Amino acid sequence: MDSSTPSNDQKIKQMETQIRHLQNELALTQTEYQNLINNYFDIFSNMEKMVEERTRELNQVQSQLETKTRELQIMLDASPTLIFYKDTSGRYIRANRKFADFLDIPITEIIGKTHRDLFPESDEKVFLDDGEIIRLGQPVFGAYGHVNTHEGRKPIQIDKIPNKDSQGNVIGIIGFATDMSEQEKAQRENQELQERLARSQKMESIGLLAGGVAHDLNNVLTGFVSYPEYLLMELPEDSPLRDPILTIQESGQKAAAIVQDLLTLARRGVTHTQVINLNEIIAGYIASPEHQHLASANSQVRVEMRLDGDLLNIKGSGVHLRKTLMNLVLNAFEAQPENGQIIIRTYNRYIDEALKGYDNVLEGDYVVLEIADKGIGIPPEDLNRIFEPFYTRKVMGRSGTGLGMAVVWGTVQDHHGYIDVKSTPGHGSTFRLYFPATREAANRAEKPAPIHAYMGKGEQILVVDDVREQREIAVSLLGRLNYTVESVPSGMAAVEYLQKQAADLVILDMIMDPGIDGLETYRRILAVHPNQRAIIASGYSENQRVREAQKLGAGAYVRKPYMLEKIGLAVRRELDRPDDSPPSRSHSLPSHA
């Protein structure tokens, strides 16, 4: 065997060496593999920890974001302003509670909607500027319009500003809106107040004019009312002059009634009040010849009365209340179509809140007089003017003087009451008059006094009046009643007269121009005769100066034109008053006086 050829032992040793080498290499590879696996496990473990940490951070951020969102919503909801946020497509992303309450829908139903979804029939003008804001990036202030909500149509004013990112791009619109309902209501109320003030000032101005005219007319009318009464007393029953004189007297009395309307318009007509039951006023009017004639001339109209049997009383003037009732019923008749209906109602009502059109209604018990008809109604444009004097859609001179509704207004004002009017063209009108109630018992009506009850006994009377006709009429009437009468034309003349001689009674005209008036005259007379008896006469009305004279000791106030019974009773009562009793201030004269 060649020595260079390895022996079997050598081959085995070489193979063992190679095997050990491979084993060593394999052991090294396994170690590296294990190390690699261990490294991978470490990496995955670190990644898991990082994920958990990031998850915790994200949860914390999300929690903080939710907290901030809640805080933002709380702040938004606390704002009295209507706030919303829209994206560039016009969809609402956020809104506060005030905005949702304004729309009367939940916030969740707002989010994701556009204005066309929420306000399909509202004014587009309050939303049309959204595109301009996004395009130009400029705010828009004061967009005004009305939107339809579940509660009805509401006014709204909106200020909108663009929301921009860091590059200046518009990414949304922030809106601040104001519910203008209260402002519009306040504006309407202010406008109504201004209109009422203007009407009140107009009525006051016309009233001042009417009061002055009434004073002058009363002086003129005395001749038409007083002289016929005097002449009729002197004429025999079969005299052919009686009928013409009666006609003159009736015309004068009708003219005097118009003058009383003027005084009522001037808010100077109700000078004496008594406890009255409205049901009795209504019954008396319904039974009167005036109403019977009106009803017979309009037989197709049915009048229905619904009077409360337990109606409370009121304090007032029966004459003025009757005239008010008559005016309202007359207007109702004239407004009726064929087969019309008029309802006259009375009832008690307690008021504790303002009536429409009044902001100073006194709380308490009221008696309501209601006149309702099924007639043609009053157009809205006329409703606020119906109480103005001479404002009428009727033909002047054919349906009255144009003062009827003005008299109604003045009478209600003088009785410290209120008027509520409802009218619908084509369906009729309802007038409700509210009068303060009283628990006092009604006065019994006085009967006309017989002439012997106020005849004189020769007492000396001094008439003081600046109008000659008034002096002559007073002298004639009082002379007919068996008084000794003198007259003077002024207050100073009366003082001079009484400095020289006495008078049992002085009849003082309150308004005398030029010169001192009745109050100053009486003051100077009292300086000469401290206990001088006097009564006050005027064609104007009872006012503060009349009351001042009565405080000084003057007796009753007598309104011109003179009527025999009226002046006779006032004179007789003052003369018959005991020296130690206060002067009589009564104005309760017979209804025909």
* Together in a domain, 531 and 409: no
Q: Which residue has the tokens 């902001």?
A: 359
Q: Which of 224, 254, 269 is the last residue of a domain?
A: 269
Return the pLDDT at 385.
62
Asked whether residue 414 falls in the same domain as residue 332, the answer is yes
Is residue 184 included in any domain, yes or no? no
Q: How far apart are CA 466 and CA 89, in angstroms?
A: 88
Tell me, yes or no, whether 172 and 233 share the same domain.
no
Looking at residue 313, which CATH number applies to its domain?
Answer: 3.30.565.10
- Does 285 lie in the same domain as 249? no
- Domain residue limits at 60: 1-66
Tell me, yes or no, whether 535 and 421 share the same domain: no
Maximum mean pLDDT: which of 30-44, 90-104, 395-409, 470-484 = 470-484
Using left for φ > 0, alpha for ψ between -120 and 50, and beta otherwise, residue 218 falls in alpha
148 falls within a domain: yes
Question: Does the pLDDT at position 574 exceed 80?
Answer: yes
- Assigned domain for 590 exists: no
- The model's pLDDT over 374-393, given as tens digits with 9 standing for 90+, comes to 888 877 766 666 666 555 55
**Per-residue pLDDT tens over the stretch 199-221:** 666 666 666 665 656 666 666 67
Output the domain CATH number for residue 85.
3.30.450.20
pLDDT digits (tens, 9 = 90+) for 434-456: 999 888 877 665 666 788 888 99
For the cut 50, the answer to whether the pLDDT of residue 591 exceeds it is no
588 domain residue, yes or no: no
By DSSP bridging, strand 274-276 and strand 152-164 are unpaired
Tens-digit pLDDT profile for residues 123-162: 656 666 777 787 888 888 877 777 777 777 778 788 888 8
The helix or strand, by DSSP H or E, that contains position 435, with its residue range, turns out to be strand 428-438
Residue in 541, 536, 575, 577 with CA at minimum distance from that of residue 557: 536
Report the alpha-carbon distance of residue 436 to residue 418 in Å, rounded. 9
- 259 and 281 co-located in one domain: no
Q: Contact, 471 vs 515, CB < 8 A?
A: no
536 assigned to some structural domain: yes
What's the pTM value of the predicted model, to 2 decimals? 0.47
Structural contact between residues 431 and 418, judged by C-beta atoms closer than 8 angstroms: no
**Please, which pLDDT band fits residue 576 given cuts at 50, 70 and 90?**
very high
Clarify whether residues 406 and 488 are in a common domain.
no
Final residue of a structural domain among 438, 462, 478? 438
Q: Please report whether residue 443 resides in a domain.
A: no
Q: Highest mean pLDDT range out of 95-109, 237-251, 467-481?
A: 467-481
Under the banding of pLDDT at 50, 70 and 90, the label for residue 269 is very low
pLDDT above 70 (res 242): yes
Same structural domain, 325 and 430 = yes
Question: Is residue 586 situated within a structural domain?
Answer: no
Q: Are residues 385 and 466 in the same domain?
A: no
Based on the domain organization, do 391 and 300 belong to the same domain? yes
Which has more confidence, 39 or 332? 332
Amino acid at 304: E
User: Does 13 map to a domain?
Assistant: yes
CATH number at residue 250: 1.10.287.130
According to the model, what pLDDT value does residue 497 have? Answer: 94
Looking at 15, 42, 66, which one is the last position of a domain? 66
Is 508 in contact with 466 (CB distance < 8 Å)? no
**11 or 108, higher pLDDT:** 108
- State mean pLDDT over 7-25: 74
Q: Are 464 and 529 found together in one domain?
A: yes
What average pLDDT does the segment 93-111 reach?
A: 83
Tell which wins on pLDDT, 90 or 352.
90
| pLDDT confidence band for 272 (50 / 70 / 90) | low
DSSP string, 141-171: EEEEEEEEETTEEEEEEEEEEEEE-TTS-EE
Domains contained in the chain, number:
5
Residues 126 and 169 in one domain: yes
Write the DSSP symbol of residue 231: H
Strand partners, 143: 158
